[in-house]
Amino acid sequence: MLEIKNLMAKVEGKNILKGINLRVKPGEVHAIMGPNGSGKSTLASVLVGRSAYEITGGEVLFEGKDLLALKAEERARAGVFLAFQYPVEIPGVNCTYFLKMALNEIRKSRGLEPLDAVDFLALMKEKMKYLELSESLLSRAVNEGFSGGEKKRNEVFQMAILDPKLAILDETDSGLDIDALKVVAEGVNRLKRPDNAQIVITHYQRLLDYIVPDFVHVLYNGRIVKSGGKDLALELEERGYDWIISAVSEAAPN
Amino acid sequence: MDNGTDALNSFVQSEYKYGFVTDVEVDAVAPGLNEDVIRLISRKKQEPEFLLEWRLKAYRHWLTMKEPTWPNVKYPPINYQDIVYYSAPKKSGEGPKNLSEVDPKILETYNKLGIPLHEQERLAGVAVDAVFDSVSVATTFRGKLSELGIIFCSFSEAVQHHPDLIKKYLGSVVPYTDNFFTALNSAVFSDGSFCYIPKGVRCPMELSTYFRINAANTGQFERTLIVAEDGSTVSYLEGCTAPMRDNNQLHAAVVELLALDNANIKYSTVQNWYPGDAEGKGGIFNFVTKRGLAKGINSKISWTQVETGSAITWKYPSVVLLGENSIGEFYSVALTNHYQQADTGTKMIHVGRNTRSTIVSKGISAGRGQNSYRGLVRVQKSAVGARNFSQCDSLLLGDKCGAHTFPYIEVRNPTARVEHEASTSRIGEDQIFYCNQRGLPTQDAVNMIVNGYCKEVFKQLPMEFAVEAQKLLGVSLEGSVG
Ligand SMILES: Nc1ncnc2c1ncn2[C@@H]1O[C@H](COP(=O)(O)OP(=O)(O)OP(=O)(O)O)[C@@H](O)[C@H]1O
Ligand SMILES: [Mg+2]
């Protein structure tokens, strides 16, 4: 489904991604971990087409097509979704309205009829239940005045409505209390199907207790320096990153 | 700077949809202004003596005045001798009696503008007085209105058929001495709309005037006068467009509203005069004086404006709150794109006891547009218990445009309460990207955010015009994004 080959990117003249290789097949869940500033969010941003990042090398195929050639909105319509680490507020634009516009734009690109208000509300009600999201929240402006946790929940709610093929969750667990974490994780799990995939960026093993990854990757200094199964996350929780980092530095001083 | 911001900065010219010219034979006087031209206009319109005298007094007063320089706008000097002060579609003898007698080319123009008069007649709800250059072409729905005693006709007709009302009310809210442009308008105005709602009548439909400047080098100097008698209610809508031309055209209108005891006037404007091209060439100079006098107790005057056109806008729809408990409102969306400049706002003059006013101004600047809000809230000594609330917001798209606010507050009564809130925000690249990531193209994202920002004002417009205004805003911001 997703194939990243030797991807390199820079921002403001600084090289951030220095050759990323990653393959994600349908039905898989990949976790990406790594110290602060290692390039996790940058990778996510590059995949969804944020223009501040300049691609300096490599390629990305999504369902066999050149993902990097598409505009940000085209990638979204093709089924790539990012739950943002820091969702922005859009004052004056109602949450429900926003989501209906987005969904219908995506449906249009797939040759589907737009959902009318009645059908859309029904869909919303159904998805709202899973995420224990209140109706009053959705009648407010997008993320405006939402608490940190509410913003994160809203991201996953949008994911539930838009039903992407590839969802990238950037630290969706940060800012959530224990109960909310469970709710959100269950919400994410419910969306998992054999024909879609998830990339979960996180610092904490805790999340991976609920969203169980098939693969765990450690991103350090713009490269994936170690990959493993879900046990790798447990090991990281115990030992931190130092042992991996020192191994890397010895192998290839930077 | 990243591409997202570039994209916002590079909103370019979208085609001005209404920029076509209608080829009709016109009856026009030579350019220039002097007493003879004024006499000629008055004669062509077969006006009573009092009106000619009034025009001449205004003209003589105008000669003593200087064009104002205080607005925060820049434009080359206007040569008032280059302007044609009267232009009308040529007609064979008598004027049109009904729609079937109107020049089909003119009707076609209105069709292109999206207001087919034939359609209008059938569709219930809107009565249109269409002003084509200087004369009113057709007034629909007149019959139905007259049954209620409502007078809704062109200004010229009102002069012919209701000279007593014109004599009584003309200049009673905006005297010709008010400012440079009101004096000019009073001297040379050629047409406009007149509307009179008798005692206790609630006008059953929206009244609407559609102005259009067609002939080149024509100044449009229309006058609108609305009188609402005791206990009456009226909602009036004005819409404007003009063809694309390279030179600037002057539009100096005067609108007078008078609300007597318990009367209610709602005046909405959707203004879409040609704004000039992307380089700032051409476009309308829109120098307009609009004022309402809330004279009676419990009277109410409400201005709503959506301004997306004109090269330069200079207007301050105002309310003088004379009657006890009277209410004044001003809701405004003003958009400037490319090289457009707007200096607009309102004046709320509190004279009577317990008078209340609300000001909601939403300025949007894009491209190299410059948008100034200028508002005056004056509470006079007599205005015991007066209240005002003002909210002035500015939204910036890109970083080459500007927003300025000039609030003036003068309070001479200690019991008054005046509140002023202001904010400036920018549509951020991160907001646009968030929308992109959900599948929305940049243009739609910008429109959505801008419409959200203007919601409070759009809510004040009659339903069908709110939709229109929303579309207009979209078209005006259309361009190169993404
Ligand atoms: N727009 C930008 N301008 C300048 N530097 C940037 C920008 N975006 C990212 N960087 C830099 O790139 C590096 C990687 O940042 P990134 O956000 O990808 O890290 P991360 O792995 O997601 O970290 P965290 O775990 O703290 O979220 C950091 O040094 C960051 O400061
Ligand atoms: Mg990050």
B425 CA to middle of ligand 1, Å?
26
- A251 exposure class (CB count in 10 Å sphere: 0-12, 13-18, 19+): exposed
Sequential pLDDT tens for chain A (254 residues): 999 999 999 999 899 999 999 999 999 999 999 999 999 999 999 999 998 899 999 999 999 999 999 999 999 999 999 999 999 999 889 999 999 999 999 999 999 999 988 899 899 998 888 888 888 888 899 999 999 889 999 999 999 999 999 999 999 998 888 888 998 899 899 999 999 999 999 988 888 889 999 999 999 999 999 899 988 888 888 888 888 888 777 665 44
Split at pLDDT 50, 70, 90, the class of B182 is very high
Cβ neighbours of residue B424 closer than 8 Å, sequence gap 6 or more: B393, B394, B395, B396, B403
Pairing state between β B254-259 and B223-228: parallel
Give the confidence band of B116 by pLDDT, cuts at 50, 70, 90: low
Say if ligand 1 is within 6 A of residue A12 CB: yes
pLDDT at B292: 97
A13-22, B281-290, B321-330: least confidently modelled range: B281-290
Distance from CA of B267 to the nearest CA of A (A): 25
Q: Between chains, do A72 and B436 touch, taking CB under 8 Å as contact?
A: yes
Angle, vertex CA A151, rays to CA A147 and CA A152, nearest 5: 120
Is residue A76 less than 8 Å (CB to CB) from chain B? yes
- The pTM for the full model equals 0.79
The two structure tokens encoding residue A47 = 């995949």
| Min Cα separation B172/chain A (Å) | 41
Residues 6+ apart with CB under 8 A from B114: none
Q: Using CA coordinates, name the residue in chain B closest to A93.
A: B452
Asked if B4 lies within 8 A of A90 by C-beta distance, the reply is no
Band (pLDDT 50/70/90 cuts) for residue B345 is very high
How many CA within 13 A on the CB side of residue B43? 7
Contacts of A76 in chain B (CB under 8 A): 436-439
Please count the other Cβ atoms lying within 10 Å of the Cβ belonging to residue B104.
10
- Judged by average pLDDT, the poorest of B53-62, B86-95, B266-275 is B86-95
| CB-based burial label for B164 (10 Å; 0-12, 13-18, 19+) | exposed
Instruction: Tell whether B406 lies on the interface with A, counting CB pairs under 8 A.
Output: no
Give contacts of B433 with chain A, Cβ < 8 Å: 50-51, 72
Q: Which residues of A touch B451 (CB under 8 A)?
A: 92
Tokens of B286: 């829109």
- Angle B336-B338-B342 from CA coordinates, rounded to 5°: 30
Tokens of B288: 């307009």
- A97 Cα to chain B: minimum distance (Å): 10
- For ligand 2, the distance from its centroid to the CA atom of residue B437, given in whole angstroms, is 17
Across the interface, whether the CB atoms of A93 and B452 are under 8 A apart is answered yes
> What per-residue confidence (pLDDT) applies to A32?
95
